Structure 1
Amino acid sequence: MSFLRRLVLSPTGAAGLALLAVIAAAALLAPWISPGDPLRIAGPALLPPFSDPMLPLGTDRLGRDVLAGLLHGARTSLIVGLAAAAAAVLIGSIVGTIAGFAGKLIDEVLMRIVDAFQIVPGFLLALAFVSVAGGSLETVILAIALGAWAQPARLVRAEVLSIRERDYVAAARVIGMHPLEIAFKEILPNALPPVLALAAVIVAAAILTEAALSFLGLGDPNVVTWGSMIAEGRNVLRAAPFLSVIPGIGLVAAVLGVYLVSEAAGEALGRGGRP
């Protein structure tokens, strides 16, 4: 049975994929459902949900459409989560492959660098980086990736150490393949499957980190995010709790969906090819 089929047939995986499909659809359709700038003034301030059919989720303190913010915020969260995870896995895979395949001094030096990054919590590293470099979306993605690449590096290194002595690797050495070609063409593809399950966890953590940075006012002020919406709503939490609750539900749904898919992917990979 294929990995994708095992993932879909798993109740956990199916639930996670359904949640992510809804969020992805909302993100993709945002320009058509709520065209224009989601930060523009759309109506009277603090309009409650379901009181105006043109503004079904109401407006915030400045009269901005909450539905538009929710949909466009989904796009921001998915872009940040996927891009940061891809960058972290790419950096970690390269470092882990070189460390595991080269061994000796190179392995020791690279692993000490990995240790240095793992000592500092990822959020604090991202917070410090964004505070210095600015809060653009690209900077936030890079900051999150810098705090998340060490774990994939360790996992890839462990996989490479178990693979590098196998017969097909020895055969590649015998026929004269370059060491880097052996490492990245023969070994790395076989070391990646466990990292893919970890990537889902990194996506969820990246979404939460971006929301936290935006909540603290360190995100991109020109881009609507769920974190900035929650921060905006905290100022009128008693009078209009929906301003924080609605984006909060979106954030919980996105993270829950990613974690469910991650759990199901881990189970599917653990079962291997068994039906």
Structure 2
Amino acid sequence: MNVFKRLLRSPAGAAGLALLALLALAALCAPLLFPGDPLAIAGPPLTPPFTDPAFPLGTDRLGRNVLAGLFHGAQASLAVGLAAAAVSIVAGALVGTVAGFAGGLVDEALMRVVDAFQTVPGFLLALAFVSVAGASLAVVILAIALGAWTGPARLARAEVLSIRERDYVAAARIIGMHPAEIALREVLPNALPPVLALAAVIVGNAVLIESALSFLGLGDPNIVTWGSMISEGRNVLRSAPFLSIVPGIGLVVTVLGVYLLAEELADALATRKARP
């Protein structure tokens, strides 16, 4: 609660929260405001923005409503970002906890796996995985998570290394708790808060990677994404630049909000941890 109050008092934190709240509102309202298929032809092609009340942001080359695509694209970005962050945090926290708590050869082996994944840039790993496994929303989420779980794993391991020697962990060993139970019930919950602070950064990176994959034609073809909208607009960039500018603004606003919130959240958690 104190962390949330600090975010609201900070201009950057409040701005980040406001931008992400706007994104969440657009995603939630997309099925209500635009209940039809956003990929369906809705009007004449290449209608300029603010010339037809039925299409405030115009239409694309096929006559699809740009505003409907923008709202449904927010839904896709939010879904991919949150899902990829959840998978990365869960996988990374579990691997980091096992490595830090077990120590020895287990720690060494798991950290070498983490090193191997970290040598490959996240986007290239996602690009290769999607190219092999095929383009679908679930595959894109898994592909992004494959490159993002190493950060939470390293941070969780560092936290566990400091927690495992504390008195309550020693007391749990004395009363005969199983090591796995100690790791999951006593150690992991106390190591999670710093790891969760990475979620905002992972969401921002996931949104950018998903948009880049969609721009290259490797996103899910059955849903509207901002990356696919930008890709569609590049073919008529000179005559209808709004087709790329509108979803591009959506991407900028989303990533800016995520990083503003992430920076303030990290500062708030660091201050809280530093208090005696």
Query: What band does the TM-score fall into relative to the shorter chain?
Result: over 0.9
Q: Secondary structure at the match of 2:19?
A: helix
Distance 2:203 2:34 in 1: 26
Residue equivalent to 2:168: 168
The one-letter code sitting in structure 1 at the alignment partner of 2:64 is R
Residue equivalent to 1:159: 159
1:77 to partner: Cα distance: 0.2
Distance 1:124 1:83 in 2: 19
Q: Secondary structure at the match of 1:162?
A: helix
Distance 1:110 1:138 in 2: 25
1:108 to partner: Cα distance: 0.4
| 1:35-81 deviation line (CA, Å, top 9, x unaligned) | 10000001111100010001100000000000000000000000000
Distance 1:139 1:164 in 2: 36
Q: Secondary structure at the match of 1:219?
A: coil
The one-letter code sitting in structure 2 at the alignment partner of 1:142 is L
Residue equivalent to 2:3: 3
The one-letter code sitting in structure 1 at the alignment partner of 2:199 is A
Residue equivalent to 2:242: 242
1:227 to partner: Cα distance: 0.2
Residue equivalent to 2:38: 38
Residue equivalent to 2:214: 214
Distance 1:70 1:58 in 2: 11
Q: Secondary structure at the match of 1:61?
A: coil
Residue equivalent to 1:23: 23
The one-letter code sitting in structure 1 at the alignment partner of 2:189 is P
Identity %: 74
Pairing 1:133–2:133 present: yes
1:233 to partner: Cα distance: 0.4
1:3 to partner: Cα distance: 1.7
Give the structure-1-normalised TM-score.
Answer: 0.98
Residue equivalent to 1:57: 57
Distance 2:170 2:49 in 1: 65
Q: Which moved more, 1:264-273 or 1:82-91?
A: 264-273
Residue equivalent to 1:190: 190
Distance 1:56 1:250 in 2: 16
The one-letter code sitting in structure 2 at the alignment partner of 1:254 is T
1:34 to partner: Cα distance: 1.2
Distance 1:258 1:194 in 2: 17
Equivalent positions of 1:61-76 (< 5 A) are 61-76=61-76
Q: Which moved more, 1:175-184 or 1:62-71?
A: 175-184
Distance 1:26 1:79 in 2: 12
Distance 1:188 1:212 in 2: 34
Residue equivalent to 1:104: 104
Pairwise CA RMSD of aligned residues?
0.9
Distance 1:195 1:249 in 2: 30
Moved >4 Å (runs of 4+): none
Structure 1 unaligned segments of length 5 or more: list them.
Answer: none
Distance 1:197 1:10 in 2: 17
Q: Which moved more, 1:69-78 or 1:174-183?
A: 174-183
Give the structure-2-normalised TM-score.
Answer: 0.98
The one-letter code sitting in structure 1 at the alignment partner of 2:235 is N
1:196 to partner: Cα distance: 1.4
